[in-house]
Structure 1
Amino acid sequence: MIGTNELIMIFGVVVILFGASKLPELARSMGSSMGEFKKAQKESELNLREFEKSIKEPTAPKSKVQETAQKLGIDIRGKTDDQLLDDIQRSSEKPKEVSEP
């Protein structure tokens, strides 16, 4: 942590290097650059959150095979259309359970 003596020394060096008349202009430019930095940081965090959300939620449209399999209650994650077609065919070959009234 910077102590009082160090701050006074830094301020003295700044006054010697830039002069007392340039200090307000220097402070203004530092303030505006900090504002721009924070704005860019918030924007990048927002973009990162949107990217993470897009990874978690696939936005690719489902094919007809995927839609049909999902309607039949077949898990479609990680399966190709050919695998899903096989699963659909197997599920259609199973005898249906009929409930008696």
Structure 2
Amino acid sequence: MIGPQELIPIFAIIVLLFGASKLPELARSMGSSVGEFKKAQKESELSLKEFEKSITDPITPKSKVQETAQKLGIDIRGKTDDQLLEEIQKAAEKPKEVSEP
């Protein structure tokens, strides 16, 4: 860690190099540069996480049969479209219970 004894000569050299009138402008530009760097770093971390997620959890598009079966409450995991169609037909053949008021 830099202590006060090291900071005094560093600030003195900066004042001699840039002049006292340029110090606020220099500090402003350094602050905005650091802010832009952190923003770019955060964006790259987010895109990396999204990429890693897309590799580990590939999204497979669902067919219309799968979507319909899922809406009817049928478990679609590990079943072919033909199996799902059979279950959809069975569900359609069952008489629905009507609740009386």
**TM-score interval w.r.t. the shorter chain?**
0.5 to 0.7
- 1:52 is aligned to 52
1:58, distance to aligned residue in structure 2 (A): 1.4
Percent of counterpart pairs with the same letter? 74
- Provide runs of 4+ in structure 1 moved above 4 Å: none
TM-score when normalising by structure 2 = 0.60
Structure 1, unaligned runs of 5 or more = 63-68, 73-101
Root-mean-square deviation (Å)? 2.3
Structure 1 Cα separation of the partners of residues 20 and 50 of structure 2: 46
TM-score when normalising by structure 1 = 0.60
- 1:11 is aligned to 11
When the two structures are aligned, how many residues end up with a matched partner?
68
**Structure 1 stretch displaced more, 38-47 or 51-60:** 51-60
Structure 2, unaligned runs of 5 or more = 63-76, 81-101
Correspondence for 2:79 among 57, 71, 90:
71
Structure 2 Cα separation of the partners of residues 28 and 37 of structure 1: 14
Structure 1 Cα separation of the partners of residues 29 and 12 of structure 2: 19
